[in-house]
Amino acid sequence: MAERKPRADLVRIAGNKLRADLSDVVTEIALDFSVGSVAELAITAADPTGRLDGSPLAALGTTVTMTDDPQGSWEVGSIDAVYGAGIVWTYRCRSKLAKNLRQRFKSGAETNVSPTEWVKRKVRNAGGRVVAQPSQKQVAIGQAGKQDRQSVLDVIGSLAGELEWGWAEHGGTFYFGDAYWALTGGPKLPTWPVTWKKNPRSDALEMQVNLSDDDTESRGTLDLTLPHAFGRRLRPWHRIQLSDAGRYSGIWLVQSVSYLDDDVSTVDVSCNLPRKPAKKGGST
């Protein structure tokens, strides 16, 4: 079995490659993408002598990139340090778009504006691209409850809850709509063929499926374990075309993707099968 070694040689800090003596202490690079959550890149390092303390990586706001990562640039958003025989650092990085959307603001309610148009305007102002499902006009969009300030992302979350929609963010683009719209190809994201014990190039390594009549929003869930090189390319609201799996074959909607970036570890992918809304309350 190949050695699990994080691909620290691909990490760029403020545009510069990590020095060899610094990349050698990186023990794990983990990525997590999920519907309704900000994507995260986490870099963990076991640093016996505290060498990373003076590195640009240890500064909040530092730009982090990986040379083959389609997500683009990340920014260090939080730093955890555990002191013992040495220091174990964990640098949690999020996209610049996510950072901008989480900035808190104070503004009055806006009237006669659709959630989709409001989200498009706010995301573009934050420097991102938007793919969104059309929505009806709403009476008002603004501060929730008695809070004086809240982030754009908080407001988007509230709108998504009211509409029974969701959102996903990756690659500098923000996706906003209902899950059935995503399942039927509304965002125009990739569809990936996955087989079961049919073709080594496209087979899932493990698969767990559940179909249910008890959930009013979803007809089933699908959890997949995929090979690293294949699975790391998937993102939330991509689709899986599952075949050679009997009654479970068909199109599934990706909900989350998580993996260790080491060329060896498998990738965990969760999918669901959204039901068609009885009433498209958000659509025109």
- Phi and psi angles of residue 199, each rounded to the nearest 5 degrees, phi first: -145, 115
What the block records as the tokens of 65 is: 């990139």
What the block records as the tokens of 133 is 């499902």
The CATH code belonging to domain 102-177 is 3.55.50.30
The DSSP element (H or E) to which 79 belongs, if any, is strand 74-83
Class of CATH domain 187-274 = mainly beta
Q: Which one, of 106, 119, 217, lies nearest residue 168 by Cα?
A: 119
pLDDT tens column, 125-147: 999 999 999 987 675 776 555 55
- pLDDT at position 183 is 97
Angle, vertex CA 88, rays to CA 83 and CA 91, nearest 5: 125
Whose tokens are 């007809």? That residue is 219
Q: Which neighbouring-strand residues pair with 88?
A: 46, 82
pLDDT tens sequence across 168-220: 999 899 999 999 999 999 999 999 999 999 988 889 999 999 998 888 889 99
65-102 residue pLDDT tens: 988 776 678 999 999 999 998 999 999 999 999 999 98
Classify burial at 106, counting beta carbons within 10 Å of its beta carbon; exposed 0-12, middle 13-18, buried 19 or more. Answer: exposed
Residue 284 has pLDDT above 50, yes or no: no
Q: Using CA atoms, how far apart are residues 135 and 143, in angstroms rounded to an integer?
A: 20
Tokens of 117: 């148009």
In the block, tokens 């939330």 appear at: 236
Retrieve residue 189's tokens. Answer: 């994201």
